[in-house]
Amino acid sequence: MATVSSFAAVTSLCGALVLPPMMEDAAIRWGLASAMGAALAALAAAWGHGFATRTPQTPGEAPLGRSAHAAGAGSVAVAGDNSGSIATGDITPRAVPAQPPAQWPATPPPPAPPSSNSTVTASGERSIAVGGNSSGTLSTGDQSGGTGQ
């Protein structure tokens, strides 16, 4: 409906009102008006296709039907992918470790296949749960070996 309406409106307005003062020949004027109407109709069709095929998502809703629930004190649950830093522990200055921290493996593990209906729950104190891939830094504030890592 929007495509037909936009074509008809632009073609009629350009052919009857906008272009006559600039062009004497009616064949050229209406041909140009039709081309302008077709261009706007193509934009309306692209908008309509995008509108019809979009996935409705309300603010705060997790992507792909996933849900996240953080129940523990200071816990974080992310239903989708995470690319930022997440820290759930207390922020206190740490001593510099005597040796550099261990490096991550050169090749990351393959991503888990996406699930259309998954639930992510972080139920423990200062727990972190990520339902997708995580490329950010995750820290619960726990210390192991006295190095502050």
* pLDDT tens, residue by residue, 127-140: 788 777 777 777 77
Residue 148 pLDDT exceeds 50: no
Helix 26-53 with 2-13: angle, nearest 10 deg: 160
- In this prediction, residue 149 carries a pLDDT of 45
CA 132 vs CA 11, 29, 37, 62, 111: distances in Å: 49, 57, 45, 11, 8
15 compared with 122, residue with greater pLDDT: 15
Q: What gap in Å lies between CA 42 and CA 79, rounded to an integer?
A: 37
- Does residue 94 sit in helix, strand or coil? coil
